[in-house]
Amino acid sequence: MQAKVNTLCLAKRKPKWLTLRFIELTSTESVFYSPAHNLKGSSALIVIYKNGLTSKTMQYIASQSTYPATVFLNQNEITKRHCKIRWFNQTSEIKRCGHGTLAAANFLIDHLGYCPEAFTSMSNERFTIRVKKQRAQLLLKSIEPKKSELAEGELKSVFSVAIKAAYSTGENNGYTVVLFNKEFNKEFSKEFDKAVEKDDLKSIRIDFKALCALHKNAVIALSIKNKDKKNAIAHFRYFAPQFGVNEDSATGSAVSVIAPLLFRLYGLNKAKLIQQSNNGALLNYEFNNAKVVIY
């Protein structure tokens, strides 16, 4: 099936870059939202382009966007089984973007009636797509974090509360997950009820300048709320000022690190993840055989 030649206007006043002869189609797509829990999720700008669009122009288009991620797909590849994908925020190219990938897949399913089996990033990482009930699910290889006293020490001055433990995947372009001490959780469990919308992580204060200066990884603050295997719930926040985003609204790629850690610590192979950004997000996942399915 061939893509429809169409440009979906994003505003009453069309941006100048939409007139570029390389742009075939544009739209926006939201993911990880839950009206029932008042969680808005996140959106991405999807740009389908013809051959000839340079990286510099992609970055320019993303810099003019108000969305957390701008996703670029080549018109000549979206009908194939495998399709290259690139993501940019307002200041730089993104290395991994789960929410942008799911947004692109759902856009293609909804508007064009098909979707590639996998998207491939610039680093040749494969983002496999499964389609269930006309909605996309993202399959990623899990990334196993290791306990890191070095990361724990570097991040002591970053957070307003004491860190219980830190787990890192690497020193460069990686992830670090931080857990906080039990006293912190107990204190806030007295103040807040058990509703999904309220939690201790919202009250944490972060020194973003210190994070940029002291640590190279994106940082995930994680808190387990319900360890029951049938109704497991965990809350998290995601900080990456080193990569141009102080706090991300909805972070699908982070689940590739969170899922194996929750399995190791609590034996959970699936859970609901509530991302406690300002907008809030709901992410469901299943973890099996070193792979994570996110939806």
pLDDT at position 13 is 55
**Bridge partner residues of 129 (DSSP):** 138
The set of residues, in sequence order, having a beta carbon less than 8 Å from that of 114 and lying 6+ positions away, is 1, 79, 108
Quote the CA–CA distance of 163 and 271 in Å, as a whole number.
23
Q: What are 133-187's pLDDT values in tens digits?
A: 999 999 999 999 999 999 999 999 999 999 999 999 976 669 999 999 764 444 4
pLDDT(106) > 90: yes
Confidence of residue 14 (pLDDT cuts 50, 70, 90): low
The set of residues, in sequence order, having a beta carbon less than 8 Å from that of 251 and lying 6+ positions away, is 98, 99, 220, 238, 275, 281
Reading phi first (left if > 0) and then psi (alpha if -120 to 50, else beta), residue 9 is in beta
DSSP string, 149-166: HHHHHHTTTTBSS-EEEE
**Bridge partner residues of 123 (DSSP):** none
* 281 and 33 Cβ atoms separated by less than 8 Å: yes
Q: What are 174-230's pLDDT values in tens digits?
A: 999 999 976 444 444 443 344 434 457 999 999 999 999 999 999 999 999 999 999
Total-model pTM: 0.86
pLDDT at position 200 is 76
* 294 and 31 Cβ atoms separated by less than 8 Å: no
DSSP string, 6-56: ----SSSS--GGGG-TTEEEEEEEEES-BGGGTB--EEEEEEEE-TT--HH
pLDDT at position 241 is 94
pLDDT at position 134 is 93
Quote the CA–CA distance of 258 and 262 in Å, as a whole number.
6
190 versus 71: the higher-pLDDT residue is: 71
Provide the H-helix boundaries in 55-148: 55-63, 98-112
User: In the numeric block, which tokens belong to residue 203?
Assistant: 């009250």
- How many Cβ atoms sit within 10 Å of the Cβ of residue 146? 10
